Amino acid sequence: MSKTTVKNVPIEREPADASRAPAVGAGRAFAIMLLITGAAGLLASWVITIDKFKLLEDPNFTPGCSLNPVVSCGNIMKSDQASVFGFPNPMLGLVAYGMVICVGMSLLARASFPRWYWLTFNAGTLFGVGFVTWLQFQSLYRINSLCLWCCLAWVATIVMFWYVTSFNVRNGHLPAPGWLKGFFGEFTWVLPVMHIGVIGMLILTRWWDFWTS
């Protein structure tokens, strides 16, 4: 409690309540980024879900993105990792990416959200990027196949995670030193580019003999 004096009478003031902090909106570019990444992830999830249903109906069905022994969506869809929660993974994406699109549309309509909302959204993107990282490892080193639609969802999730994290750091929702806020303010794009670049290098080296043959 802080005290001030008015005519020699001490008056106590209540400390600032973080829960009453004003809601925060976002710029048009950020909203469009959410719309694009959400739509890309939703498209990938939708196509994979449709192909998964076709594969369940006909075990001999070959998805359109099964192009060669490496780029083989069918191998991914038939794996145990494709239903890690007991149902096809892309069904989770249908819900999650749809929510991202709703947030993007709300921001375009100039909606504002409190700190807890942004932190919850950030936690969701953190789960998403962690999950796709696990899927990347499984795809490259356990299933030994790639799915192009999965790759699209990976890229969308990575870009979404870094830009949402940057937004929260720059707006003080996540505690960070001044130099980090400055870095996110100028060079947010560097982090998703580097992240995606590392994955691209892993894919290149994992099947180097196949790509160069």
What is the reported pLDDT for 25? 65
- What angle, 0 to 180 degrees and rounded to 10, lies between the N-to-C axes of helices 148-170 and 178-187? 130
Residue 65 has pLDDT above 60, yes or no: yes
Domain residues for the domain of 71 are 25-205
For the stretch 154-186, pLDDT in tens is 999 999 999 999 999 999 999 999 999 999 989
Residue 11 placed within a domain: no
Whole-number pLDDT of residue 140: 96
100 is a domain residue: yes
Q: Which two tokens stand for residue 201?
A: 């290098």
Inside any domain, residue 12: no
DSSP 31-88: HHHHHHHHHHHHHHHHHHHHHHHHHHH-TT---TT--SSSB-HHHHHHSGGGGTTSS-
Handedness of CA 11, 15, 20, 26 (dihedral sign): positive
pLDDT digits (tens, 9 = 90+) for 71-130: 999 999 999 999 999 999 999 999 999 999 999 999 999 999 999 999 999 999 999 999
**For the chain, how far is it from start to end, CA to CA, in angstroms?**
72
Q: Is residue 8 part of a domain?
A: no
Is 10 domain-assigned?
A: no
Residue bearing the bigger pLDDT, 180 or 10: 180
In a domain, 15, yes or no: no
Neighbours of 77 (CB within 10 A): 25
Provide, rounded to the nearest whole percent, the portion of the chain with pLDDT above 70.
Answer: 89
Domain assignment present for 191: yes
State both tokens at 113. 């959200």
**Predicted local confidence at residue 20, as pLDDT:** 56
Q: Looking at the 3D structure of the chain, how many domains does it have?
A: 1
Q: What are the tokens at 3?
A: 């005290």
Is the pLDDT assigned to residue 187 strictly greater than 80? yes
DSSP per-residue codes, 97-109: HHHHHHHHHHHHT
pLDDT of residue 23: 74
SS3 5: strand
pLDDT of 2 strictly over 60:
no
Q: H-helix or E-strand containing 9?
A: strand 9-13
- 205: pLDDT strictly greater than 70: yes
- Are the C-beta atoms of 174 and 113 separated by less than 8 Å? no
In a domain, 3, yes or no: no
Here the CATH number for the domain that contains residue 68 is 1.20.1440.130
